[in-house]
Amino acid sequence: MTADSLTKALDAAEAHCLERGEKLTPVRKRVLELVLEADGPVKAYDLLEALKPGPGSAKPPTVYRALDFLMTAGLVHKVEALNAFVGCSHAHDEGGAELFICSTCGAVEERHGAPLPMNAPEGFMIQRSVVEHFGQCANCRPA
């Protein structure tokens, strides 16, 4: 991600949070920045390590709270199978996402508009849905 696109993404995230009546605190913003800068899915403890510049640095609950906020705001997705996080290509509050995970290189690509399950139990309200597909990306797939 270029510096310009990172700045635009962070500005959009801040505006999205304001629209929701919430605040993108400095810690939340830095965690989002680290996720967006990562080349692929990033684990919480890698984020924690990146936030440790010296004494009084972030503790695990701080990172997990920031990630929970960012997931709820639709700014990051948790790749459940990898126990890692990726930035969302665009902020959204509801609906689903499909994550395509390359089992060779580990790249994760996101697509929106996943249909909501038609077989949910009666009265069950889906708040968030993520479908994970595993395979090989175009770069890794044998010709």
What global pTM score does this model have?
0.84
Mean pLDDT over 30-36 rounds to 95
CB neighbours of residue 63 within 10 Å: 22
The pLDDT confidence band at residue 22, using thresholds 50, 70 and 90, is very high
pLDDT in tens, 93-135: 556 788 999 999 999 998 876 566 778 898 988 777 778 999 9
- Window from 11-20, 54-63, 133-142 with minimum mean pLDDT: 54-63
Query: What domains are there in the chain, each with its CATH number?
Result: 3-87 (1.10.10.10), 96-135 (no CATH)
- State CA 17 to chain mean position distance: 15
d(Cα 35, Cα 31) in Å, to the nearest integer? 6
Q: Which amino acid is at 4?
A: D
d(Cα 22, Cα 7) in Å, to the nearest integer? 19
What pLDDT, on a 0 to 100 scale, did the predictor assign at position 24? 95
Q: Which amino acid is at 30?
A: R
